[in-house]
Amino acid sequence: MKGMERRRELLSWLNEQGSVTLTGIVNRFRVSKMTAHRDLEMLEQRRLLKRIHGGAIAMNTPVPSGTASAVPAQRRDNCLICQRPVGPHLLYSLISTDGAQRHFCCPHCGVSAQLAYPEQSAMAMATDYLTGRPHPVQHSWFVLGSVVVPCCRPSMLTFEDEEMARRFQSGFGGRLGRLAEALDYLRGEMRLHQGDEGCPHCAQVAAMNPDG
């Protein structure tokens, strides 16, 4: 399959699914990760998709406010970023500027969405990892990169109470921070691991066929 034809089929697949992973592209089109990255980069330059850590999200029609793109609609009960089932214990929710609510499997994916669509997020809600109580993200304390990985990597867990977050950090490691530090942390991880799958717990090992 030629590059132009592959990218056309990739874009059609992405628009159907809402999001795709790097491993999924490698498996579907039997290409190397380098080729998959190059295809995503070309399509993003044409404003046809938005790259995220480990894959890409579809871009819809621009919103009336004049921002570049709208957040894709959520499909069923799966996380918009990694397609894992969304449960209550790690739930991270975004309320966009158009009033739509979108739910993510964990803070990792929720923060990924905030990086991808900063202008679209009017409000965000996180869930306390210990108590299960929802609270505004601006009040959250994030433990970043601890050895506890209940969902996606790198681990990002939210706590409403600073003292409880510090106790958890002292026992399980990681860094403590607010939303700004969480955004910076994940942005740095994306730069360090550009060739890695964003959510390895969801992905199968790809049989690589480097064709360019």
User: Among 195, 96, 187, which Cα is nearest to 177's?
Assistant: 187
Instruction: Please report the DSSP string for 144-168 in residue order.
Output: ES-S--SSSSS-EEEES-HHHHHHH
3-state secondary structure 96-141: ECCCCEEEECCHHHHHHHHHHCHHHEEEEEEECCCCCCEEEHHHCE
The first and second tokens of residue 178, run together, are 């607010």
- Answer yes or no: are the C-beta atoms of 152 and 105 closer than 8 Å: yes
Query: Tens digits of per-residue pLDDT, 20-77?
Result: 788 889 999 999 999 999 999 899 888 888 887 677 877 653 333 333 344 454 444 7
Question: Which residue has 């601890």 as its token pair?
Answer: 146
In this prediction, residues 147-157 reach a mean pLDDT of 92
Please say if the pLDDT value at position 155 is more than 90: yes
Q: Please compute Rg for the chain using Cα positions.
A: 17
Task: State the distance between the two ends of the chain, measured CA to CA, in whole angstroms.
Answer: 12
Rounded CA separation 81/69 (Å): 16
What is the per-residue pLDDT across 73-125, written as a single tens digit (0 to 9) for each?
Answer: 444 478 888 888 898 889 999 877 666 778 999 999 999 988 888 777 778 89
**With 80 as the cut, is the pLDDT of residue 19 above it?**
no
